Structure 1
Amino acid sequence: MGATAAVSAAAALPVTAASADDLPLPLDAAQDDPGPAAPVTVISLTDLTGRRTAVAEEGLEQLGTDAPAAAGATGATGATGATGATRAAAALHAAGLHGGGAGRGLATVRLGGLADAAPGSALTTTTAQNPNADLDKIAVLTPPIATEEFLVAGLTWDAQDRLPTGARVFLRVLEDGEWSEWLETEAEDALDSGETRAGAKAGTDPFVTGGADAVQLQVTGDAGALPASLELSLIPANPEPAEEVITETPQPPAELPTETTEPAAFRSLLGDLSQPAATVAPVSLGTTVTGASSAAQTAGVLPAAQMAGVMPAAQTAGVMPAAATVPRPTITSRAGWGADPNIMSWRPGYATLKAAVVHHTAGTNDYTPAQSASIVRGIYFFHAETRDWGDIGYNFLVDKWGRVFEGRTGSLAAPAGKMTIGAHAGGYNTGTLGISAMGDYTKVSPPREIFNSMANVIAWQFARAGIDLDTPSGITSPGTAYTPKGRGLARIFGHRDVGATTCPGNAIQSWLPSLTRAVDSQALQLFYLNNDFGPTADTQFRYGDKSAQIYVGDWDGDGVDTLAARVGRTFYISNSNSYNEPDTVIAYGRPDDDILVGDWDGNGTDTFAVRRGAIYHVRNSITSGPADQVVAYGRAEDEVLVADWDGDKRDTFGVRRGSIYFVKNSVATGVADYTVAYGRPADTVLTGDWDGDGRDTLAVRRGARYFIKNTVATGPADFEVVYGRAEDLILVGDWNGDGTDSLGVRRP
């Protein structure tokens, strides 16, 4: 067998334990109760020819201005407008929001929605002049429109049309009696080329609210270039396809007083979005604990000098181990958040995962924990029904408390290394994972919980795919306002790197280097195994998280050495050198024990022994339980090597003191069978059967150079090789079952 090696590495970012698909929403005691199904309200802004409806112009008319109308624009109403208008008038009356005239350039601002608010309170009216209002650049301005409560809003239009060149879309909503600021939502070009379905619509990002009951919309640009069938959809907590269509805002009864409502914030809107937001400080990933491995004196373990900066296993208390694989974080499945299967008409397809694309939505960020699942349902409805994609576009969504929701069908069930093809970044959906923060992070920093959850989800999927974050994704930018054409993209990038958008916002975009480091901190250990001493690895894979110690052995007796990852006293054992779930998991010994590996009874299978000082507790099966044999040998301060020194198929101990080796050919107490000198006291020593003769011998390592001896004897090396890098952590094993040991590296 090959020499045992134990490797420790820096602790990973803590992850959330795996759990069942249908999960509660733990941050709020109240269950998500969306109430009875309610219709989606649709506000029609242009007709089939692109002409404005009355409601699209009414906000401008309320300014008392003669702003030029676009050629051909009308106040046409649809056939379903009467019912919608009547219902809207009653809602406006109840909310105290009434349309009316005012002097040119003069607007009265209603901050709240209650007609009987106390004078001087935040809900009373104030006035403000906008002498610099550039009204001819406003294509659409609705009045404030009261509706039934909605959680998600989105603008759509005919898929064959586009918004006017340079157009921008702004919404403000009334939540708990307070108007939000004007907030921008961008066009969302999320389908790949050739994916447009019959009836699919173009549209904006979903706009998330905390439960709004009034809305006002502004679209800048050329009114004569508006797309056909421009509509604003307002989606409640439990949407149903039946729709209420508003084409004009009804007038309140004559006896009610009228008040002018504020139009768009013409003076500033959202400012110049081409300018970067304030610098966002990188998210701290915590303090790394460094020191020598507690197993540094174990056979085959690199000495303390080789382990500088590596976290001891004993110091990883409180870090939930990923063990052999990065576990699935807590994720609420589609069933858990109540996806309606009746509106899902998209057939899942899968592709090899290459990268993650990070997004945010739009909106006020004012939702509560109890509303998150309803918001996901609203986004699902907006994508699947309103835009007719047949399903939600993102693979995963994260609310501001860090709770993760499965989006696209099949994202949780994707095979290892694959991801269901979503609709989140047009032209870049195949081979990417789309993950979106629920909220608008254009100018404000997202909560740390979003960062942690995104890191956990991406790390989980990247580990399943064996992705090395140090390698390029193979994806190049098509050229955007932020990223030059042809630039190669990292494994984690923002939507703006491949699309005409500011998504995921300046704050999240500035996160991405830290997010990449956080994902990498959870990545499984990367191994390169060679079947000879050539310069190129024959096998490359990941196994065991970075807090785990790694051991080599033939656990199933098939002649091939494979790996076991140890965290504490638990061993995660694999019978193949590839990314996989462990074949066997056992507990043995104590967390601070030194562990040795060998075939102690000659049955062809390697097992573990625990060393405590000069006492060895040997077990002859890969199972939990007491030792089969306990022996004393050597001194507590000795470095111990394991090898089959005499070719009898049984591994035994040898102790090293400086450059002198005391070799024993049986697992027994007593004096050494022979003593030999080899190498220098400062050398790192390995054991293996380098020539396939059935006997293990010594090799000494000096940096990246190895001096290999084919007999246990004093004298010069039989051959020398240069292999890997001086900082590599070295493993020894028979990786292909040919009876000859060779080297492998675990690259930090």
Structure 2
Amino acid sequence: MSKIGGMRKLLASSIGVTCAAALVLPLTLTTTTTATEISRPAAAPGAQPARAADPGIPGSTQSLPLAPLADDRTLGSAQGLTPRDVRPFSLLGVVWDDPDTELHGSVQVRTRAAATGAWSGWQDVETHNADHAPDRGSEERTSGRVRGATAPLWVGESDGVEVRVRSADESAGTAPAPLPSGLRLELVDPGSESTVEAPVGGAPADPPVTEPLSPDTADASAPNSDLAPLGATEIPALDQAQTQHELLTLHADGLTEEQRANPYIGPRPPIVTRRGWGADESLREKAFLYTKRVKAAFVHHTATGNNYTCAQAPSVIRGIYRYHVVSNGWRDIGYNFLVDKCGNIYEGRAGGVANPVMGAHTLGFNSDSAGIAVIGSFNTTRPSATTVTAVSQLASWKLGLHGGNPSGKTYLKSAGGNLYAKGKNVRLNVISGHRDGFLTDCPGGLLYGKLGSIRSQAARFQGRS
């Protein structure tokens, strides 16, 4: 049995297996010692056939080239757009041609609310986003589609925009560096869901799937089919005893001696699936990408701002997903999981929440790790206690699948970044902040300051103290 196949068998909840028995779309999974693409599974005889597309979700992206500003005193040092009417959008960012070129300067925007016609004040967009990206030299990075980009910013439904991008201020009489070539403003409409209600403080029990599933939605749901019915909007929680029991029923070659003797794993929390937040599965690459195992979890913030309600969180995620794929040129959303301000947990990159899915979250350390992003910005805003607890619960379960001690240390090999050279073995906390692997302020100082609490809580959830 392959390691991934064994992991899927290990994690099937008795409830999920019973509900899903007639709906499972079988998978043939393989794993290698390097990142591996796994293509769509073929349907077995008697499997549920692919059906029509889910209605109502798609959304759109407007890409507007920036132009020199009228007050530009140094050629190439300021670009933007004057105020203008645009089609409705809710999330924005700025992209440019070369992903290895950094934008040294500032990006500011103001937007017009569609509901009231009122213009916002100027808002800063986080420009240092090169640290959230596929690893250099990886197939995803060298696809020819990847672009440089700012972080996305959630602004709510808007129909007008103005933007200005300026190089860093002159210093010691030296002219500022030119801005990257090919600057464009990306305006993202995340689309609207018509079939799934957004969870607030925990999603309700998943109803039977009655509407048709598109082939792509069925494919994305299939890697989770041992945990919940095909097409489910939520993977249900398991208590400690259920989770430990399933860990111990894994095939012998899938567990270490230490795990068999001490099955440390946190109870599985409820997880909103990609279908639950309304992913348009036609956008992403169709194959799934896996690494060997999950030795560490990196905690991030999305830097999209905190001006969203928990009912809007699925829309924010759809916006980030579309921005990562359509605007940045990635194969899928970069994070493995996302957590909102109410503590709801969401599946990120497709491939199965229990599987070691390769993300694009921590440049240099995407192999053998998972990226957990808290939706918001936490340089000046504190994360809620509910969110901190949810991150702890998620990390205790995900790391426990691979024998990870949340309070411990591990080694990861760098794929190259601005802190560690390619090939260097780096000793890191099993639960680390993004800034531990790359020189960045992510996940924001106030969330980074909670990592000690997250580690201790996660260890307690595993039963280690």
TM class by shorter chain equals 0.5 to 0.7
Structure 2 CA distance for aligned equivalents of residues 438 and 235 of structure 1 = 17
Contact 2:378 2:447 (8 Å CA) reproduced: yes
Q: Does 1:219 align with 2:165?
A: yes
Structure 1 CA distance for aligned equivalents of residues 82 and 437 of structure 2 = 35
| Partner-residue secondary structure (3-state), 2:181 | coil
Q: 1:209 to 1:329 in 2, by over 3 A?
A: farther
Report the CA distance between 1:438 and its aligned residue. 1.2
Structure 1 CA distance for aligned equivalents of residues 59 and 400 of structure 2 = 42
The correspondence for 2:135, drawn from 177, 192, 201, is 192
Q: 1:322 to 1:35 in 2, by over 3 A?
A: same
Query: Which residue number corresponds to residue 388 of structure 1?
Result: 329
Query: Which residue number corresponds to residue 231 of structure 2?
Result: none
Q: Identity of aligned pairs, percent?
A: 31
Query: Which residue number corresponds to residue 337 of structure 1?
Result: 277
Residue deviations 1:524-552, cap 9 Å, x none? 34xxxxxxxxxxxxxxxxxxxxxxxxxxx
Q: Which stretch shows the higher mean deviation, 426-435 or 214-223?
A: 214-223
Q: 1:443 to 1:499 in 2, by over 3 A?
A: same
Give the residue type in structure 2 aligned to 1:230. L
Q: Which one has the bigger helix percentage?
A: 2
> Which residues of structure 1 form unaligned runs of 5+?
1-16, 23-32, 46-52, 74-137, 240-319, 526-747
Contact 2:93 2:125 (8 Å CA) reproduced: no
CA RMSD of aligned residues (A): 3.2
Q: 1:389 to 1:178 in 2, by over 3 A?
A: same
Query: Which residue number corresponds to residue 61 of structure 2?
Result: 40
Contact 1:156 1:232 (8 Å CA) reproduced: yes
Structure 1 CA distance for aligned equivalents of residues 428 and 407 of structure 2 = 12
Contact 2:92 2:153 (8 Å CA) reproduced: yes
The correspondence for 1:505, drawn from 430, 444, 463, is 444
Give the residue type in structure 2 aligned to 1:457. L
Structure 2 CA distance for aligned equivalents of residues 520 and 207 of structure 1 = 34
Q: 1:470 to 1:510 in 2, by over 3 A?
A: closer
Give the residue type in structure 1 aligned to 2:182. S
Contact 2:60 2:190 (8 Å CA) reproduced: no
Give the residue type in structure 1 aligned to 2:144. A
Structure 2 CA distance for aligned equivalents of residues 34 and 200 of structure 1 = 29
Residue deviations 1:12-43, cap 9 Å, x none? xxxxx998799xxxxxxxxxx99574431112
Q: Does 1:431 align with 2:368?
A: yes
Work out which structure has the larger RCO, using CA pairs closer than 8 Å and 6 or more positions apart in sequence. 2
Query: Which residue number corresponds to residue 385 of structure 2?
Result: 448
Give the residue type in structure 1 aligned to 2:349. R
Q: 1:215 to 1:520 in 2, by over 3 A?
A: farther
Query: Which residue number corresponds to residue 106 of structure 2?
Result: 168
Query: Which residue number corresponds to residue 154 of structure 1?
Result: 93
Q: 1:448 to 1:172 in 2, by over 3 A?
A: farther
Q: 1:215 to 1:363 in 2, by over 3 A?
A: farther
Q: 1:321 to 1:390 in 2, by over 3 A?
A: closer
Contact 1:183 1:364 (8 Å CA) reproduced: no
Query: Which residue number corresponds to residue 473 of structure 1?
Result: 410
Q: 1:376 to 1:179 in 2, by over 3 A?
A: same
Structure 1 CA distance for aligned equivalents of residues 404 and 299 of structure 2 = 17
Residue deviations 1:599-621, cap 9 Å, x none? xxxxxxxxxxxxxxxxxxxxxxx
Q: Which stretch shows the higher mean deviation, 139-148 or 341-350?
A: 139-148
Structure 2 CA distance for aligned equivalents of residues 508 and 352 of structure 1 = 26
| Partner-residue secondary structure (3-state), 2:449 | helix
Give the residue type in structure 1 aligned to 2:320. I
Report the CA distance between 1:181 and its aligned residue. 5.0
Report the CA distance between 1:427 and its aligned residue. 1.0
The correspondence of residues 313-324 of structure 1 with structure 2, limited to 5 A, is 322-323=240-241, 324=244
Contact 2:301 2:442 (8 Å CA) reproduced: yes
Contact 2:154 2:304 (8 Å CA) reproduced: yes
| Normalised TM-score (structure 1) | 0.41
Report the CA distance between 1:161 and its aligned residue. 5.3
Contact 2:341 2:383 (8 Å CA) reproduced: yes
Q: 1:162 to 1:437 in 2, by over 3 A?
A: same
Query: Which residue number corresponds to residue 232 of structure 1?
Result: 185
Report the CA distance between 1:452 and its aligned residue. 1.6
Q: Which one has the bigger strand percentage?
A: 1
Q: Does 1:210 align with 2:148?
A: no
| Partner-residue secondary structure (3-state), 1:521 | helix
Query: Which residue number corresponds to residue 575 of structure 1?
Result: none
| Partner-residue secondary structure (3-state), 1:213 | strand
Larger Rg: 1
| Normalised TM-score (structure 2) | 0.64
| Partner-residue secondary structure (3-state), 1:149 | strand
Report the CA distance between 1:167 and its aligned residue. 2.3
Give the residue type in structure 2 aligned to 1:211. E
Structure 2 CA distance for aligned equivalents of residues 501 and 181 of structure 1 = 23
Structure 2 CA distance for aligned equivalents of residues 18 and 327 of structure 1 = 14
Q: Does 1:364 align with 2:305?
A: yes
The correspondence of residues 533-552 of structure 1 with structure 2, limited to 5 A, is none
Q: 1:359 to 1:153 in 2, by over 3 A?
A: same
Q: 1:34 to 1:455 in 2, by over 3 A?
A: farther
Contact 1:480 1:496 (8 Å CA) reproduced: no
Report the CA distance between 1:519 and its aligned residue. 0.8
| Partner-residue secondary structure (3-state), 1:156 | strand
Structure 2 CA distance for aligned equivalents of residues 470 and 514 of structure 1 = 10
Query: Which residue number corresponds to residue 255 of structure 1?
Result: none
Q: Does 1:522 align with 2:461?
A: yes
| Partner-residue secondary structure (3-state), 1:362 | coil
| Partner-residue secondary structure (3-state), 1:377 | helix
Give the residue type in structure 1 aligned to 2:73. P
Contact 1:480 1:497 (8 Å CA) reproduced: no
Give the residue type in structure 2 aligned to 1:379. I
Structure 2 CA distance for aligned equivalents of residues 452 and 505 of structure 1 = 17
Q: Which stretch shows the higher mean deviation, 421-430 or 154-163?
A: 154-163
Structure 1 CA distance for aligned equivalents of residues 305 and 55 of structure 2 = 20
The correspondence of residues 191-340 of structure 1 with structure 2, limited to 5 A, is 191-195=134-138, 196=141, 197-221=143-167, 225-238=178-191, 322-323=240-241, 324=244, 325-340=265-280
Give the residue type in structure 2 aligned to 1:428. F
> Which residues of structure 2 form unaligned runs of 5+?
1-12, 20-53, 169-175, 193-237, 245-264
The correspondence for 1:408, drawn from 320, 335, 349, is 349
Q: 1:366 to 1:146 in 2, by over 3 A?
A: farther
Contact 1:446 1:508 (8 Å CA) reproduced: yes
Give the residue type in structure 1 aligned to 2:363. G
Residue deviations 1:223-249, cap 9 Å, x none? 76222221111111229xxxxxxxxxx
Report the CA distance between 1:476 and its aligned residue. 7.6
| Partner-residue secondary structure (3-state), 1:342 | coil
Residue deviations 1:575-630, cap 9 Å, x none? xxxxxxxxxxxxxxxxxxxxxxxxxxxxxxxxxxxxxxxxxxxxxxxxxxxxxxxx
Structure 2 CA distance for aligned equivalents of residues 392 and 338 of structure 1 = 13
Structure 1 CA distance for aligned equivalents of residues 367 and 100 of structure 2 = 25
Query: Which residue number corresponds to residue 399 of structure 1?
Result: 340
| Partner-residue secondary structure (3-state), 2:299 | strand
Give the residue type in structure 2 aligned to 1:191. P
Q: 1:171 to 1:440 in 2, by over 3 A?
A: farther
Query: Which residue number corresponds to residue 216 of structure 2?
Result: none
Runs of 4+ in 1 over 4 A off after TM superposition: 17-22, 33-38, 476-482
Query: Which residue number corresponds to residue 258 of structure 2?
Result: none
